[in-house]
Amino acid sequence: MRRALGAIIVATALGSGCVAPRTLTRSAEIDAASDVAFRAAAATLLDDRQVFDLSDGDAGLVAGGPPSSVYGASERTTFWVTPIETERSFVIVQVHHVGYESAEALDRRLDWLLGRLRQRCILGGDVAPFDQDDQDDDAGGAPEPGGPP
Name the residue nearer to another protein (CB basis): 38 or 112: 38
Single residue of 129, 136, 137, 141 touching another protein by CB under 8 A: 129
Single residue of 33, 43, 106, 114 touching another protein by CB under 8 A: 43
Single residue of 30, 33, 37, 62 touching another protein by CB under 8 A: 62
Q: How far is the CB of 78 from another protein (least distance, A)?
A: 13
Name the residue nearer to another protein (CB basis): 46 or 139: 46
Name the residue nearer to another protein (CB basis): 85 or 134: 134
Decide: is 10 part of the binding site for another protein (CB under 8 A): no
Strands 75-85 and 51-56: unpaired
One-letter amino acid for residue 48 of the chain: D
Decide: is 30 part of the binding site for another protein (CB under 8 A): no
Q: Is the dihedral of CA 125, 126, 131, 134 positive or negative?
A: negative
Site for another protein in 65-124 (CB under 8 A): 66-68, 70-71, 124
Give which of 129, 112, 109, 127 is closest to 40, Cα–Cα: 127
Name the residue nearer to another protein (CB basis): 10 or 59: 59
* Interaction site with another protein (CB under 8 A): 38-39, 42-43, 46, 49-58, 62, 64, 66-68, 70-71, 124-125, 127-132, 146
